Amino acid sequence: MYKELTIAQRTIMTPGPVEAHPAVLQAMTNRILGQFDPNFLAIMDEVKEMIKQPFGTKNKEAFAIDGTSRAGLEAALIALIEPGDKVLIPAYGRFAFLLGEICERAQAQVKYVEKEWTAPFAPAEVIKEIDAFQPKIVAMVHGETANGQMQPLAEIGQYCRAKDIFFVVDMVATYGGVALSVDDWCVDLAIAGTQKCLSVPSGLSLVTYNERVEAVLNARYQKELGLSKTDRNKRHIMSNYLDLSQLQRYWNTERINHHTEATSMIYALHEGLRMLLNEGLDAAYQRHLTNEGALVAGLEAMGLSIYGEKATKMPTVTPIFIPEGVDGEAVREEMLHSFGVEIASSFGDLKGKIWRIGNMGYSSRKENILHVLAALEGALLYQQAPISAGKALIAALNYYQKTT
């Protein structure tokens, strides 16, 4: 016999998934509505409008995809890519290679520009590569959770627009936690997730795109066989499930029968967006900055060093060098099992070298910052690591007092 779920109490300070907002968890207890019930369609329409605000866009199109963030990334890229298309991917962290993996599988011709992960690109470097490669698409990550760095986008976007190149940006780790300006930055297609700064469980991704992308979608639209045997289109998108040209017609007034919308997750998304907009976007961004400041003050007071360029550091992720001689995984396990506090390791070359502390959405709260500092200090001291004891919490509290 299987037993009832018992879920441990955790303070989640990873770069996602993070703690869901209590109003979001509550929303999921609502009864199911039929997917074409007018009550449900009204909720979808509100969600559409709310999604646009953290993106900083007046685009007509914005909606959710029933899949985790990488479902949105794949839907976005395969919407634009036809076999042989050239895609430029400037990579200053791990997730650029996920974009590349998706593009390669869509049979694009991909060129990577690589650099040290300690900082993003100077826009001029990317522009030089655009001139050399002449891509159809430039795909980038706005905030790299793997290393905590954030790419300035405006100049690159404006250059792409002038050259009629599509600019696709992964905003999964910044949406809701950092001010975004999709329109001003000339981002044609932007993708976000729910499990980070929105404080909604993982399971949906969010997209928005402009008329340049819509024109491509209209040219590639193929109504599916079960609904029409005549509307065939040789340029159709390679996936049915992740076909933005169909999804758009499910979310707009045409309401074609595509998938069965993930009812409870849409309830959750509605409430997550509503909580964020009620707090006020500027207030939410400031909250993330304040909590980041306190966290960094505490970590540095402990004697730990932050990885990467400070000027381009994401407020939502703080990567920390694991002190020499310390077993990073043993510390993480002590924190999880004894303190109930979760922090993250990293990927690739940074695996074993840094920890990452998230500061996202509902997890970005004063008490969580203090919990994570206390647990990290405790676990390090228990391992006899050479850190300054008794300084971190005072530094963080002083920071809060100074700024709030």
Residue ranges in 216-255 that form contacts with a second copy under rule CB under 8 A: 224-227, 236-242
Neighbours of 242 (CB within 10 A): 22
C-alpha–C-alpha distance, residues 156 and 43, integer Å: 36
Smaller CB separation from a second copy, 101 or 309: 101
Smaller CB separation from a second copy, 61 or 74: 74
Smaller CB separation from a second copy, 99 or 387: 99
Smaller CB separation from a second copy, 302 or 344: 344
Site for a second copy in 59-118 (CB under 8 A): 66-71, 74, 94-98, 100-102, 104-106
Q: Answer for the pair 268, 27: CB distance below 8 angstroms, yes or no.
A: yes
Smaller CB separation from a second copy, 210 or 270: 270
**Which range of residues in 6-14, 308-316, 368-376, 395-403 is near a second copy by CB under 8 A?**
6-14
Q: Does 376 bind a second copy (CB under 8 A)?
A: no
Least separation in angstroms between residue 288's CB and a second copy is: 18
Least separation in angstroms between residue 296's CB and a second copy is: 22
Least separation in angstroms between residue 193's CB and a second copy is: 8
Encoded one letter per residue, x for contact with a second copy by CB under 8 A and - for no contact, window 185-204 reads --------x-x-----xxx-
C-alpha–C-alpha distance, residues 169 and 187, integer Å: 7
SS3 256: coil
Give the sign of the dihedral formed by CA 328, CA 330, CA 333, CA 335.
Answer: negative
C-alpha–C-alpha distance, residues 245 and 215, integer Å: 10
Site for a second copy in 250-289 (CB under 8 A): 257-265, 267-268, 270-271, 273-274, 277-278
Least separation in angstroms between residue 365's CB and a second copy is: 14
Residues 194-216, buried b or exposed e (16+ Cβ, 10 A)?
A: bbbbbbbbbbbbbbbbbeebbeb
C-alpha–C-alpha distance, residues 157 and 167, integer Å: 6
The β-bridge partners of 61 are 209
Residue type, 5: L
C-alpha–C-alpha distance, residues 74 and 237, integer Å: 11
Residue in 7, 10, 21 with CA at minimum distance from that of residue 360 = 21
Q: Answer for the pair 297, 395: CB distance below 8 angstroms, yes or no.
A: yes
Site for a second copy in 327-366 (CB under 8 A): 336, 342, 347-348
Least separation in angstroms between residue 180's CB and a second copy is: 19
Least separation in angstroms between residue 276's CB and a second copy is: 11
Neighbours of 226 (CB within 10 A): 8
Smaller CB separation from a second copy, 81 or 297: 81
C-alpha–C-alpha distance, residues 45 and 39, integer Å: 10
Smaller CB separation from a second copy, 17 or 157: 17
Residue type, 312: T
Site for a second copy in 126-165 (CB under 8 A): none
Site for a second copy in 15-44 (CB under 8 A): 16-20, 25-35, 37, 39, 43
Least separation in angstroms between residue 69's CB and a second copy is: 7
Residue type, 231: D
